[in-house]
Chain A
Amino acid sequence: MSTLLIIEQVLNGLQFGVMLFLMAAGLTLIFGVMGLINLAHGSLYMIGAFAAAAVAGATGSFVLALGAALAVAAIAGALIEMTVIRRLYGKAHLDQVLATFALILIFSEGTRWLFGSFPLFLDISDYLSGPVTLPGGIQYPLYRLTLIAVGLLVGLGLWLLIERTRIGIQIRAGENDREMIAALGVDIRLLYTLVFAIGAALAGLAGALVGAIQSVQVGMGEPVLILAFVVIVIGGIGSIKGAFIGALLVGLTDTLGGIFLPELFKLFMEPGAATQTGSALASMAIYILMSLVLIWRPTGLFGARA
């Protein structure tokens, strides 16, 4: 196995990781600030992808499509926060899971009703398509490099927002003591809607970005949602930094595990069986990673709560 292949796979793992981060950041913010388990986060991812596909189909512009994905997902997020989620803050986690699961069904069937069951077409624009040659002679798709860059920029932006702005201070304060910051005169309801909308917009952006290289279809969000939960558990619930590190760890483990485990098994098994066993074990790799992290640090890498 050549070094070039390994570098390319590391890039693939990074790209997968930063896209997971976009999903996990919103999820962990919402859980950290509001104490809410939002299963419908995957639906917002799907909404972003469909909004992008619809706008790209109508206008042909990929940039407009991304804008639409951000806007539509943020609006959808704000709307469900005000109509449904707001009633769930005081409730037990089981009620939240039930209600947000209902939202998944509503959004999935609603999208099917609007767009039909067949996958939609969302193509990347010409200036981002095709491979580029990196130093060392690696050919790598430009679009995937762009995804890595966008993911890192969003991560940086989010860090600046949380650490360096007034809203960030309020969000962090809300995480620690919501009664106190309400008593200090911060409109906590507005803050919650805002946080929810930011989380939703990030999910929608991830959906649109990934939808361009995969298929835009109903139910596309749920598999990613499961991974995003794994990420925030590894990273520590409520921590953006944890979500970032966790996402990269999961992305790299999943990608590299899928390549190296079958190779490893080939050393002492016949190739056909080695590929099957290796791929089966590779699909478990991230869950094994999660258990190891939890044994070592029960609250996750950067988790504060016990």
Chain B
Amino acid sequence: MKKLLMATAALAIGATSAFAETKIGMITTLSGGGAGLGIDVRDGFMLAIGQSGRDDIEVVIEDDQQKPDIAVQLADKMVQSERVDILTGIIWSNLAMAVIPSVTAQGKFYLSPNAGPSALAGQGCHQNYFNVAWQNDNLHEAAGAYATSAGFSNTFILAPNYPAGQDALTGFKRMFKGELAGEVYTQLGQTDYAAEIAQIRASGADSVFFFLPGGMGISFLKQYADSGVDLPVVGPAFSFDQGILQAVGDAALGVVNTSQWNKDIDNPTNAAFVESFQAEYGRLPSLYASQGFDTANLILSALEKAEVSDADAFREALRAADFDSTRGAFKFGPNHHPIQTIYAREVIKEGDVFTNKIIGTALENHGDVYAADCKM
């Protein structure tokens, strides 16, 4: 932590130097129930900036408190008074929908380290908007594909009622070949799932798919494990990321989840990332941290080639995605969303620590279906 402070202090000093500096605005969730996600993105991002050794980049970090109105205010402040060149950081799709269209319309670049709502991948795509994580549907499509290949034929699916939750169920259904035993939308931020679990029990399903990021997933899994319903569970990585596995405990063991990243993906960038993240922050990185790290490295790679002020050249440099990703191969599709491999992981226990292990590939070089609607 001290090292990070010194790095930021160095950055602040750098800000007054004579370099042509780049200013990056990060709006992310640092307080409230969703704070773990934003903190991981921020820490991954700052780790990459620190490792680059560049002192001509200034990062302004603000907390959106997971509230769309606050995020919009912060975006206005960053564009108008801080005069940032690039924005990034938003975790939640409903906040992303409130901020991204307006900042890209003002000529700024936005690189998403997490949220990838479908509305911004299809007709709403923009030449200055890049998503470094995934289109929202992707991990759920992979879960659908995995559930099909695992032989499940009657699945109960649930997700919170907000843009990413709707994308999740749409994505799962797109790739899942079996029947649905039930389809339920829960409230965003809901903590008690007794009613939904009773419905699962009564539905006669042979498996359960759920998308409940952050604390919602912890609550669901603990209550599910305690309910005596022992149907196999499939989900995207968001309910099984490093930040919350310890809180879920044994209830998550053996659950299969889908992710574009894991700490055991075998490439030198990833190995170095996992090691340096642990050294810097004293905990294992999550997929959110890897997304923050990749986002920063993408920006750095583009800055090597072009100035942000030359928007066309900078955009081309971003599109080339000429950086070493923690996921191995990384490239953008026509709508500036990743085309990437998504893995199936299993929750295991390493010593005292719960973590994930890759057990197979769910979808190879997968893009998204909205790209066809994107005209930029």
Give residues in A with beta carbon < 8 Å to B.
1-2, 4-5, 8-9, 12, 15-16, 108-109, 112, 117-121, 123-124, 129-131, 139, 141, 143-144, 210, 212-220, 223, 255, 258-259, 262, 271-272, 275-276, 279-280, 283
**Interface size class for chain B?**
35 or more
Flag whether B201 is at the interface (Cβ < 8 A). yes
Of the residues B166, B185, B187, B247, contact of A215 by C-beta under 8 Å? B247
Provide 28 A-B residue pairs closer than 8 Å at the C-beta atoms, listed in order of the A residue.
Answer: A5-B199, A5-B201, A8-B201, A8-B202, A12-B192, A16-B194, A108-B31, A117-B35, A119-B244, A119-B247, A121-B246, A121-B249, A123-B222, A131-B228, A139-B228, A210-B191, A214-B192, A214-B223, A215-B33, A215-B191, A215-B247, A218-B32, A219-B33, A223-B189, A271-B183, A275-B185, A276-B166, A279-B184
Nearest 5 pairs between A and B by C-beta? A131-B228, A215-B218, A12-B194, A117-B35, A214-B219
* A-facing residues in B180-224 (Cβ within 8 Å): 183-187, 189, 191-192, 194-195, 198-199, 201-202, 215, 218-219, 222-223
Q: Tell whether A2 pairs with B228 under 8 Å between CB atoms, given A117-B36, A119-B244, A255-B195.
A: no
The SS class assigned to the B binding surface is: helix
Closest to B32 in A: A219
Q: Which residue of B lies closest to A222 (CB)?
A: B32
- Chain B positions 244 through 270: 1 when the CB is less than 8 Å from some CB of chain A, otherwise 0: 101101000000000000000000000
Looking at the assembled complex, report how far the CB atom of A192 sits from the nearest CB atom of chain B, in whole angstroms.
32
Report the bound CA distance from A82 to B63 in whole Å.
Answer: 33
Asked if B243 lies at the interface with its beta carbon under 8 angstroms from chain A, I say: yes
Residues of B contacting A144 in the complex (Cβ-Cβ under 8 angstroms): 194
* Inter-chain contacts of B192 with A (CB < 8 A): 12, 16, 213-214
Given contacts A117-B36, A271-B183, contact A213 B30 (CB under 8 A): no
Report B142-177 CB contacts with A as 1/0, cut-off 8 Å. Answer: 000000000000000000010000100000000000
The answer to whether A214 touches B218 (Cβ under 8 A) is: yes
A117 touches B195 (CB 8 A): no
Chain A residues, Cβ within 8 Å of B30: 117
| Chain B residues, CB < 8 A from A117 | 30-31, 35-36, 39
Across the interface, which residues of A come within 8 angstroms of B36, CB to CB? 117-119
Bound CA–CA A297/B51 (angstroms): 65
State A123–B251 Cα separation when bound (angstroms): 10
Output the nearest chain A residue to B244 by Cβ-Cβ distance: A119
Contact between B244 and A276 (Cβ–Cβ < 8 Å)?
no
Tell me whether B218 and A119 are in contact (CB under 8 A): yes
CB pair B185 A139 closer than 8 Å: no
A220 vs B226: C-alpha distance in the bound complex, in angstroms? 21
| A279 and B39 within 8 A (CB) | no
Given A141-B228, A217-B33, A271-B183, A121-B198 contact (CB < 8 Å): no
- Which residues from chain B contact A276 at a C-beta distance below 8 Å? 161, 166, 185
Q: Does B52 contact A (CB under 8 A)?
A: no
> In this complex, what residue of B is CB-closest to A212?
B222
Given contact pairs A12-B195, A144-B194, A275-B184, A213 touches B226 in the complex (Cβ within 8 A): yes
B227 at the interface (CB under 8 A from A): yes
Specify the chain A residue showing the minimal Cβ separation from B215: A215
B190 to chain A, nearest CB (A): 9
The answer on a CB contact under 8 Å between A280 and B161 is yes
Task: A276 to B188: give the CA distance in the assembly, Å.
Answer: 12
- The smallest beta-carbon distance between A36 and chain B, in angstroms, is 26
Nearest residue (CB) in B for A282 is: B187
Q: Is the CB of B226 within 8 A of A214?
A: no
Q: Is the CB of A218 within 8 A of B228?
A: no
Contact of A259 among B187, B199, B223 (CB under 8 A): B199
Known contacts A119-B215, A139-B201; A279 and B33 CB within 8 A of each other: no
Cβ of A279 and Cβ of B195 under 8 Å apart? no
- Contact B223 A279, beta carbon cutoff 8 Å: no
Chain B nearest CB: distance from A71 CB in Å? 24
The residue in chain B whose Cβ has the minimal distance to the Cβ of A280 is: B161
| Least Cβ–Cβ distance between B28 and chain A, in angstroms | 12
Question: CB distance B227 to A219 under 8 Å?
Answer: no
Contact flag A218-B31 (CB < 8 Å), given A119-B215, A119-B244, A131-B227: yes
List, in ascending order, chain A residues with CB within 8 A of B202's CB: 1-2, 4-5, 8
Q: Is the CB of A5 within 8 A of B183?
A: no
How many angstroms from the CA of A144 to the CA of B31 in the assembled complex? 30
CB distance from B41 to the nearest CB of A (A): 12
Q: Given A121-B246, A215-B247 in contact, is the A15-B194 Cβ separation under 8 Å? A: yes
A120 touches B247 (CB 8 A): yes
Q: If A2-B202, A121-B249 touch, does A141 touch B191 (CB 8 Å cutoff)?
A: no
- A63–chain B nearest beta-carbon distance, Å: 18
